[in-house]
Amino acid sequence: MIYQFRPATLEDAQAINDIYNDAIETTNATFDTVAKPLSFRDQWLAVRQANHPVLVAEEESGGPVVGWASLNSYDARDAYRRTAEISIYVDGEARGKGLGRELMDAIIAAGKATELRTVIARITVDNEASIRLHENAGFQSVGILRGVGEKFGQLLDVCIMQRTLTDG
In a domain, 136, yes or no: no
In a domain, 10, yes or no: yes
Enclosing domain of residue 38 = 4-121
Please give the model's pTM, rounded to 2 decimal places: 0.94
Query: For residue 167, what pLDDT is reported?
Result: 62
Helix 128-136 vs helix 99-112: crossing angle, to nearest 10:
50
In a domain, 17, yes or no: yes
Domain total in the chain: 1
CATH number at residue 72: 3.40.630.30
pLDDT at residue 168 is higher than 60: no
Residues 6+ apart with CB under 8 A from 154: none
Nearest CA among 154, 163, 25, 6 for reference residue 85:
163
- Output DSSP code: residue 28: S
How many CA atoms within 13 Å lie on the side-chain side of 133? 25
> Rounded mean pLDDT of 99-111?
95
In a domain, 103, yes or no: yes
